[in-house]
Structure 1
Amino acid sequence: MISTLTGTVHHVGLDRVVVEVGGVGLTVHTTPSTAAAAHLGRESRLSTSLVVREDSLTLFGFGTPEERDLFELVQTVSGVGPRLALAMLAVLDPASLRLAVASGDVRTLTKVPGIGKKGAERLVLELRDKIAEPEAVGTGGDVARPTAAPEATRRDPVREALVGLGWNARQAESAIDAVLAREGDDVISVPALLKASLRELGR
């Protein structure tokens, strides 16, 4: 099992990064927030989980061991695979996910695409005794904003990332439209637009 990965970042996408380790570039699937924290040419250290299938080896990376551990824990629930587990952590930060499960907050859990009421109830039933309720749910601090990108340049990759996380194209477009109408050029980068669209879809 590959538990951590440290190397130079050679590519940053919305939901993946390529990290070079020992001359080999490894594609690591991430949440949008983890990808946004990576910087080209800089060293990155990720907590990782390797998912082995008959025809593939897929590496998932996270900014903290807690995120990785939650990613692996939720997959112990029937019907939850790596893609859905990653979507949970894209929509809900670890503290919010723990709180939702521990408190039986089905409504919050169903904000994740692919999780219906029955699926949320199953998550609560199977994980409530295994997951610790956080003392408080924190919020991230502000980060420096990059130079604004044209709307078309921002819209296409964000739509693709949202569809990849499980929403349909119409839902993705509606969320992007709502964010741009409300915040306009305040959302000036692709990662910022993606984060704001995720918040919109989670309302």
Structure 2
Amino acid sequence: MISSVRGTVIAVAGTTAIIEVGGVGLAVSVTPQLVLSLRIGTEARLHTALIVREDDLALFGFQEADELAVFDLLRGVTGVGPKSAIGVLAAISPAEIATAVATENDGAFRKVSGIGPKTAKLIVLSLAGKMLPFAATAPSAPTSANPVSKNVLVALVGLGWSERVAAQAVDEAVAEASATEAASVPALLRVALTRLGPRQASAARSEGVPS
């Protein structure tokens, strides 16, 4: 197994980079974004996966270890081969994939060439619970960008918390909540109130929040 390569870039074409290692030129399939960052004559170090088939040996390379890890997870999904997996990573970052899986947003995968509706749904189901390490690196979206989160924020401010404290509680609740809870104002509010403490939960009940 070739888990990484380091050498001089001697050619780039399409989505293939030729890396010379010890006098041998290795053809590595990479994303279009990575191709644009490689310069002929400079050194490159890539995290790689060697795919062995009866009639082919294919090397796929990534700049970040997270990308390789997600590539391997995607290849484990029925119907997703290495070319489709790298196609997903060419269109969506690991953090964005983690968000799509957490929110059950299979539409994010349907936008990728070669990924149909059934496969997109299967990706979401198969990767559920496996993307948490990558979600932790995802930049948090502004609370106001999500209608559910915005309504929960308004509710918390109405219960007496400052917007800063309320926003932090909502962000933490979104990160902790399941996809079902994150899509429901009452459910997400309960999670946020739990983060803020038992006194807040009592206040929520007095406001008529379902338990």
TM-score range, shorter chain: 0.5 to 0.7
Q: In structure 2, what is the Cα distance between the partners aligned to 1:72 and 1:16?
A: 19
Q: In structure 2, what is the Cα distance between the partners aligned to 1:91 and 1:75?
A: 16
Query: For 1:1-203, what aligned pairs fall within 5 Å after superposition?
Result: 1-132=1-132, 133-134=135-136, 136-137=138-139
The CA deviation string for residues 171-192 of structure 1, in whole angstroms up to 9 with x for no partner, is: xxxxxxxxxxxxxxxxxxxxxx
The CA deviation string for residues 132-179 of structure 1, in whole angstroms up to 9 with x for no partner, is: 1345348xxxxxxxxxxxxxxxxxxxxxxxxxxxxxxxxxxxxxxxxx
Q: In structure 2, what is the Cα distance between the partners aligned to 1:31 and 1:85?
A: 11
> Is the Cα contact below 8 Å between 1:38 and 1:44 reproduced in 2?
yes
Q: In structure 2, what is the Cα distance between the partners aligned to 1:60 and 1:135?
A: 23
Task: Say which SS state the counterpart of residue 14 (structure 2) adopts.
Answer: coil
Q: In structure 2, what is the Cα distance between the partners aligned to 1:136 and 1:90?
A: 17
Length-normalised TM-score, structure 1: 0.65
Paired residues, number? 138
Gaps of 5+ in 2: 141-211
More helix by share: 2
Higher relative contact order (CA 8 A, sep 6+): 1
Length-normalised TM-score, structure 2: 0.63
What is the RMSD of the two structures over their aligned residues, measured on CA atoms?
A: 1.3
Q: In structure 1, what is the Cα distance between the partners aligned to 2:11 and 2:98?
A: 31
Q: In structure 2, what is the Cα distance between the partners aligned to 1:135 and 1:21?
A: 32
The CA deviation string for residues 33-87 of structure 1, in whole angstroms up to 9 with x for no partner, is: 1111111001000000000000111000001111111111111110110010010
Give the C-alpha shift of residue 14 in structure 1: 2.8
Q: In structure 2, what is the Cα distance between the partners aligned to 1:129 and 1:21?
A: 37
Q: In structure 1, what is the Cα distance between the partners aligned to 2:71 and 2:125?
A: 17
Q: In structure 2, what is the Cα distance between the partners aligned to 1:76 and 1:85?
A: 10
Gaps of 5+ in 1: 139-203
Structure of larger gyration radius: 2
Task: Say which SS state the counterpart of residue 60 (structure 2) adopts.
Answer: strand
Q: In structure 1, what is the Cα distance between the partners aligned to 2:23 and 2:117?
A: 46
